Structure 1
Amino acid sequence: MILLRYGPVGAEKPGMLDGNGNLRDLSNHVRDITGAVLDDAQLATLRAIDPENLPLVEGTPRLGPWVGSIGKFMCIGLNYSDNAEESGMPIPKHPILFFKANSAIVGPNDDVVMPRGSTQTDWELELGVVIGKAAKYVDAKDALDHVAGYCIVNDVSERHFQNNLTGQWTKGKSCDTYGPTGPWLVTRDEVPDPQNLSMHLDVNGTRMQTGNTGTMIFSVAEIIEHLSHLFTLHPGDVISTGTPPGVAMGMKPAPVYLKKGDLMELHIDGLGTQRQKVDQDA
């Protein structure tokens, strides 16, 4: 099942894709796609709906962030060994955790707007994991039972803010629009193995990142186990699980960062595609 939100910013409606990829309106069944509808029972109720009986949404409306209210926006750093190598960082012994401000969240095709003074804005294609059932002290073998589904996240990063402004990575990760999510939520029954998903990212039509979730240092299940032993994961929480190699920061002999007018295109097999044009605040 594929769930999404569509419409103008701040007025998005819940939707579902039918078997032919057509957008159907879910407003008569749920008020919004939030953590409250992501547990197994609620998803089973939605899954029982025949999409052909839902109103067809005409045209190509804007797609919003797939969830109406993300709880925690958690990110795992350096979770691909080759990305750690290109970044000049050691392989971590435990998942590296940082948080991204929820105010960074935008739709999958909304513009990414670089803040004033940004000269080192970078791309990061990542698998997003969406919690559907609260997780506390969960073992890895049971961890995926707590997942509602998966999505694409672009963990856009301002490297100067991140590395040179003193403090945590959050400074460079949380600029407005630096958290595109979507285009939709694909429920876990549609993703039999989250550790076997191919992915790629292009900038202006040139392939920059190519990877597969099978090369993660810490699997989705291991990440959930680790985090759930630190604090409770709640329905609607999102974990962005790290990026494969090919980010601008790792380029040799010198990085080539994003600039106004660039176009990013991100794809993960089975999860759809994002497209963001880059702009900059005056």
Structure 2
Amino acid sequence: MKFVVFGEQRRLGLLDGQRVMDLAQASATYRQTIGLNDAQWDVSLSSLQGLIETGQRGLDFVRESAERLRGTDEPGIWSDASGVRLHAPWPGQRFALVGSNNANHVATAFTNMGTPRTVEEVYETTRRGAPSGFWGMARPVMGTGEQIRIPSRAKGLFDFEGEPGLILGKQGKDIKAAEIADYVWGVTLVIDWSIRDEAWPPKPYSPLMPLKNFDCSKSIGPCIVVGEICPSKIQIETYVNGQRKQSFNTSEMIFSFGEVLEQFSRDLTFVPGDVIAGGTGAGTAIDQTVPNVDGSWPRDLFLKPGDNVEVRAEGIGSLFAEIVA
């Protein structure tokens, strides 16, 4: 199943082929059809977070509603997908992002910056430690088709990172890597918009991560796919102005989603609706840039006003953005 947030009122929908089902309207109609009262179904399907918190019971109810109402022409239940605006399918909880989690991405960056490293070296060295990352604190979280404003402090070094995203559906802490399947609710796509610091090697993370946290610095969507895609086998591609820049698979992650969740959840409770982005692959502006002879960085590969960025994955769809000043 594919869930979206759509329309002016940001309603929760089920994407079914070329149509979108309004789940709040559909659930009310379905309850009336089968004689189910509100006390028997005590969680509204008016929000994404509400659906996630109902767990499997909510998914079963949505599936039954869709099957029963698939052929109905009752007004308000179905809309043409091409005629509705999609918003960020973000539950409103926390956003955790993994850093430096693709050996090809890291090795390419170091090599182009003048300190050659092989993919194998990066993988082995990184595996000796633990997953690292940061919290995405900025709001709003953007959806597909939205404009992303380049921060004034970017100074020509504004970059993109297409990433896989997991939405958690279960509360827990001190979670073991082998238990990851019990905690995954769905998968989606993420773009981590980044300001780059013209220094190499990269400076240590700042606690507030100002290069990663600014208005509109995270995009998510176009939908959340539940029960149809294996998180460890997602092929992701990123295009800038129609030219493919990234092509990588989640199977290439240095640390799996399970290992990441095990590290991040030590003494810290994760809750339904939390999002974990798994890190990006090679092809970003930072890892493809070769410094000039004087050590300065050329700006030609970084994003500029008017650029279009699209992240794609089969089975999930396309997360699109327009870059503006």
Q: TM-score higher than 0.5 here?
A: yes
2:86 pairs with 1:63: yes
2:146 pairs with 1:110: yes
Greater fraction of residues in helix: 2
State the SS of the aligned residue for 2:12. Answer: strand
State how 1:128-207 maps to structure 2 within 5 Å.
Answer: 128-160=165-197, 167-168=206-207, 170-187=209-226, 189-191=227-229, 193-207=230-244
- Structure 1: unaligned runs, 5 residues or longer: none
Percentage of identical aligned residues: 27
Structure 1 runs (4+) deviating above 4 angstroms are 161-166
State the SS of the aligned residue for 1:170. Answer: coil
Cα deviation, residue 164, structure 1: 7.0
Deviates more, 1:56-65 or 1:35-44: 35-44
Q: What are the Cα deviations for residues 51-78 of structure 1, in whole angstroms up to 9, with x where unaligned?
A: 51571114522211113x4211100001
Kindly provide the amino acid, as one letter, of the partner of residue 56 in structure 2. Answer: D
Asked if 1 retains the 8 angstrom alpha-carbon contact of 2:306 and 2:322, the reply is yes
Give the Cα–Cα distance (whole angstroms) in 1 for the partners of residues 191 and 150 of structure 2.
14
Cα deviation, residue 50, structure 1: 1.7
Cα deviation, residue 112, structure 1: 0.9
1:95 aligned to which of 131, 137, 150:
131
Cα deviation, residue 144, structure 1: 1.5
State the SS of the aligned residue for 1:221. Answer: helix
Q: Relative to 1, partners in 2 of residues 1:102 and 1:246: Cα closer, same or farther, differing over 3 Å?
A: same
Provide the residue aligned with 1:42 in structure 2. Answer: 58
Asked if 2 retains the 8 angstrom alpha-carbon contact of 1:107 and 1:181, the reply is yes
Provide the residue aligned with 1:82 in structure 2. Answer: 104
Q: What are the Cα deviations for residues 237-265 of structure 1, in whole angstroms up to 9, with x where unaligned?
A: 00011001111011142452100000001
Give the Cα–Cα distance (whole angstroms) in 2 for the partners of residues 156 and 213 of structure 1.
19
2:284 pairs with 1:269: no
Q: Relative to 1, partners in 2 of residues 1:21 and 1:145: Cα closer, same or farther, differing over 3 Å?
A: farther
Give the Cα–Cα distance (whole angstroms) in 2 for the partners of residues 137 and 167 of structure 1.
25
Give the Cα–Cα distance (whole angstroms) in 2 for the partners of residues 134 and 44 of structure 1.
20
2:45 pairs with 1:22: no
Deviates more, 1:41-50 or 1:105-114: 41-50
Give the Cα–Cα distance (whole angstroms) in 2 for the partners of residues 230 and 105 of structure 1.
27
Give the Cα–Cα distance (whole angstroms) in 1 for the partners of residues 306 and 285 of structure 2.
16
Cα deviation, residue 40, structure 1: 2.4
Q: What is the total number of aligned residue pairs between the two structures? A: 274
Give the Cα–Cα distance (whole angstroms) in 1 for the partners of residues 109 and 172 of structure 2.
32
* Bigger Rg, structure 1 or 2: 2
RMSD, aligned CA: 2.3
Give the Cα–Cα distance (whole angstroms) in 2 for the partners of residues 166 and 152 of structure 1.
24
Q: Relative to 1, partners in 2 of residues 1:107 and 1:238: Cα closer, same or farther, differing over 3 Å?
A: same
Asked if 2 retains the 8 angstrom alpha-carbon contact of 1:2 and 1:185, the reply is yes
State how 1:207-226 maps to structure 2 within 5 Å.
Answer: 207-226=244-263
Deviates more, 1:143-152 or 1:111-120: 111-120
Kindly provide the amino acid, as one letter, of the partner of residue 111 in structure 1. Answer: Q
